[in-house]
Each structure stands twice: as C-alpha cells, then as structure tokens.
Amino acid sequence: MQEQTLLSPCNPSKKGFALIITLSVLSVVIALTVVLLSYFNEVKSDADSTKALIQANVYYADILLEFKKGKGKGVFSLLYKKPVSLRTKDGRFSLQLSCSPLSAGVNINWLGLERDKKRYDLFYEAQSLFDFLVEQYNLEDGDRLLEMIRLEIGSENTFIKQDQRRLIQKNGIISYKQLSNIINRYEMESDDQKVALIPWHKYFSFSDKSEKIDAEYSSIELISYLFDIDIRTVSEWMYSKYKTSLETFVGENGVDYNRKKKILAGSTFLGESRCSVRYDTGYRFTFDYIDGEAKYFEFHGKH
C-alpha cells in the first residue's frame, strides 16, 4: 500500500514542475506575439505612409494643374480668405487646401541689406521692427540674436541641422522653421526665455526676393505697428462685416498711408504664396507657389 502511494501520478511536486514549464512556454509565446504584433503595426504604418506620400504627389500635381488654369490673383485672393474643402458623401475622400501670401509681413531678409544703398529703406524698416520687438519683450541680448539672424541670411555656415539642409537657400531665410532654429539656439545660449514669447510669424515674412509687404493680408499686430493705430481698433476693422480697404481704414484713423506706401504692395498681386494641403485622416504637405512655379514641396506625414 505504501509503494502504491509513492508511485502515484498525482504527486504534487511533479504537477508543480509541469505547471512551471507550461507557464514558461506561455510567457515566451506571449512575448513573441507582442513582438510580432508590434512589427506588423510598424510595417502597416510604413505602408500607410508610403500610400499617403503617393497620394500627396497626385494631389500636388492636380492642384498645380488647376492653378495653371486659373487666373492667379482671383484664385489666390479667395484662398487667402478661406480654405477650400472637398469631401465625398461617403466620407472616403477629404481634402482641404489653404494658401497665404508669403509677403504679408516685413521680409526678415531685409535685415541683411544694411550696405545696399538702393534698398536701405527696406533694411531700416526691418531693423526698426526688430528693435521694437527687442524692447517690447525686453530681450537680454538683442544684438547677439540679430548677429545670428544676419549670419543665417548672408552665410552658408548656418545653425540649421543637417537633416534640414535641403530647406536652406543661399539667399536668406525662406521659412519660419529656419528662424525657429536660430531662436532656439539663442535661447539656449543666453538663457533668455522671453524670446520664445515673441510671435515672430505675425510680424516677419520669409521670402528670398520680396521687396513689398502684402499689407491687406497682414496680421493685426503688424498693421497696428506699421501705422501706429491701437490694436483693438485694428481688430475691429479686421473682423468687420463691412471691412474697407486698408488705405481707407488708415486714412479714417488720421494716419498718412503714403508714408508707408513705398514698401506696400497695395493692389498689386505679388504672386508669392505658401499653400498647405490636409487630406485623408490627418496627412499634410506644403509647398510655395511663386510666379507661377511650385517650390519647396514638403511632406509632413500624419498629424
């Protein structure tokens, strides 16, 4: 009787050992499953991004074709005011196109024209605005920031990372992204966090050649600065249902529009736009459209 008990298959120690082996195998299987699922999701994400990039190129070509067909000023005047949205009834396709003038601000590249006697007035305008912002936000070392910006405008030895090198042109700062990198570097170097509070994009524009300001589309802040009109008054005009022209508005507020007329585009269409296209479920690409030609296509992926 005693021997039968010792040889019984229900021995607790053997059952426990078998359970440990089983759990070990299961843990390995689970770990492998997690890895495989992660790999599958990564591959699927890459496939989706590739598909979206192909779509972007198709939409890009179609949009450029429509731009060629349309009359420049008429098309862009509408796009500057309101994005165009397209969507199928079943929701399987959606696209939003928006454009803004590249020269709605003071061209930051004018800061590099100090020695250009013919265009010194442009330098003066940009320098005056820069000094105004430095004073308004009480920057620690405005001279150092200005030096860094001028180096970027006039030197090939830039502060931009290598992976962004393709965005850089030898003739200045052509994107807010370039300026942002300089600002970030200045902030780290000087420990001046106030520089990040300045809404640079509301005052400056980024064009490699523009010598006019498309002020009809400028920000409230810039118009207030240019004509020394209270910002609340400018805001009321900007959002008025019966908005008049900028020249009329400035005159009605007792300011001489002609004192800035030399640097303003007025009714002239400058033909320099930056466009952004959102489509599918959050993908986006951008490009510039300058004098009838597309430049600087950039696929931003999913956001």
Over the stretch 155-177, which tens digit does the pLDDT of each residue have? 444 444 444 444 444 568 988 98
Is the predicted pLDDT of residue 5 greater than 50, yes or no? no
Over the stretch 263-277, which tens digit does the pLDDT of each residue have? 999 888 888 999 999
pLDDT on residue 113? 93
Of the candidate ranges 8-17, 181-190, 205-214, 229-238, the one whose mean pLDDT is the lowest: 8-17
**pTM higher than 0.85:** no
pLDDT on residue 267? 84
Tell me how far apart the alpha carbons of residues 222 and 133 are, in angstroms, rounded to a whole number.
Answer: 11
Amino acid letter, residue 136: Q
Is the predicted pLDDT of residue 30 greater than 80, yes or no? no
Q: Report the pLDDT averaged over residues 279-292.
A: 88
Amino acid letter, residue 126: A
Of the candidate ranges 48-52, 249-253, 277-281, the one whose mean pLDDT is the lowest: 48-52
Q: Decide if 119 contacts 211 (C-beta within 8 A).
A: yes
Over the stretch 242-251, which tens digit does the pLDDT of each residue have? 999 999 999 9
Is the predicted pLDDT of residue 62 greater than 80, yes or no? yes
Dihedrals phi, psi of 302, to nearest 5 degrees? -100, 135
pLDDT on residue 50? 82
3-class secondary structure, 211:
coil
Q: Decide if 71 contacts 77 (C-beta within 8 A).
A: no
Q: pLDDT tier at 262 (50, 70, 90 boundaries)?
A: very high
Structure tokens at 260: 């800035």
Beta bridge partners of 278: 96, 284
Task: Provide the b/e sequence for 123-148 (b: ≥16 CB within 10 Å).
Answer: bebbbebbeebbeeeebeebeebbeb
Amino acid letter, residue 167: L
Tell me how far apart the alpha carbons of residues 24 and 75 are, in angstroms, rounded to a whole number.
Answer: 67
DSSP-derived secondary structure letter, 213 = B
